[in-house]
Structure 1
Amino acid sequence: MTVDHVGLSVDDLAGMTEWWSAALDARVDYTVDRPAIAMRATVLIDADGFRLELLHRVGSRPAHPRWDIATSLLSHGFGHLALRVDDVPVAYDRLLALGATALAEPSAGSRPGMTIAFVADPENNLIEIVGRSST
């Protein structure tokens, strides 16, 4: 078994499609329209084949008005999306330049050779940036 994609419910489908396309250096793979439940979706795909499905349904609302690392641990379910990168500080700065909110600057992770940082996307979804050395 392998992960096919991750689904993320968003308020502004067009805006978040633009932001996540830039953040992941991804393109639109396909779109979905389900008028019966007032839902539309855009599926993005990056060069490695990772897909992120951005879902918008009329009447949806944020799970939390403001994400932070500690608050994410108080809710069951998926708490954050972790992106593996070669250079955490570079990726962190890039996401901030795209409009992400800084939550935790790059620092040593929980294992030797690991570096992590946290940001929130423009709709306050929590993103962990992970770098792992080959040692």
Structure 2
Amino acid sequence: MRGHHTAIRYPNFVAARSFWVDVMDWRVLQTWPYGELTLAYVSPPAQDDFHLEILAGPGAAPQQVYGDVDASLAASGFNHVCLSVDSVDDTLAVLRARGVDVVNAPFEIDDISARLAFFRDPWGNMFELSERTGHVHP
């Protein structure tokens, strides 16, 4: 088995597509209908083997939006999608300039040799930015 995509349910296709394409600069790979929904695979600008699947249309109930990463750990289920970046700080600067909701300041976890930060899409879904800082500890 290999990972292929993560799907996120959105209430509005045009708005979700606009966030991922216009704000985040991702690419639409494919769009198709599914009942009353519109679905699409979107991918980061320089990656072809990871997709985020937009599942959008009527009937989506609002979800819990947490004030910070630690608060989100109290609930079971989906928590976040991790995106690897060369520089957390540079990526956050670009996202802030684009008006993206940054959840927390960067922090480091030595046990996994990573510098991390989180941002939210306009619907409260969290995404982690991860920068490798050295060797992963066994």
Is the TM-score greater than 0.5?
yes
TM range (shorter): 0.7 to 0.9
3-state DSSP of counterpart to 1:111: helix
Structure 1 stretches of 4+ with a deviation exceeding 4 A read none
Note the 1:59-98 alignment, pairs <5 A.
59-64=59-64, 66-67=65-66, 68-98=68-98
Aligned length: 132
Separation (CA, whole Å) in 1 of partners of 2:13 and 2:83: 21
1:16 maps to which residue?
A: 16
> 2:72–2:79: 8 Å Cα contact kept in structure 1?
yes
Separation (CA, whole Å) in 1 of partners of 2:112 and 2:34: 46
Separation (CA, whole Å) in 1 of partners of 2:8 and 2:112: 31
* 1:45 and 2:43 are equivalent in the alignment: yes
Separation (CA, whole Å) in 1 of partners of 2:110 and 2:61: 33
Identity among equivalent pairs (%): 27
Aligned residues: CA RMSD = 1.9
Q: TM-score, normalised by structure 1?
A: 0.85
Separation (CA, whole Å) in 2 of partners of 1:4 and 1:94: 26
Q: TM-score, normalised by structure 2?
A: 0.83
2:123 maps to which residue?
A: 123
Moved more, 23-32 or 82-91: 23-32
Which ranges of structure 1 fall in alignment gaps of 5 or more residues? none
* 1:104 and 2:104 are equivalent in the alignment: yes
Query: What amino acid maps onto 1:99 in structure 2?
Result: G
Query: What amino acid maps onto 2:37 in structure 1?
Result: M
CA deviation string 1:6-44 (max 9, x = no partner): 101112321221221256542111112122xx2211111
Separation (CA, whole Å) in 2 of partners of 1:16 and 1:100: 13
CA deviation string 1:30-62 (max 9, x = no partner): 112122xx2211111333211110111311112
Separation (CA, whole Å) in 2 of partners of 1:23 and 1:116: 21
Which ranges of structure 2 fall in alignment gaps of 5 or more residues? none
Separation (CA, whole Å) in 2 of partners of 1:110 and 1:20: 31
Separation (CA, whole Å) in 2 of partners of 1:88 and 1:129: 6
2:132 maps to which residue?
A: 132
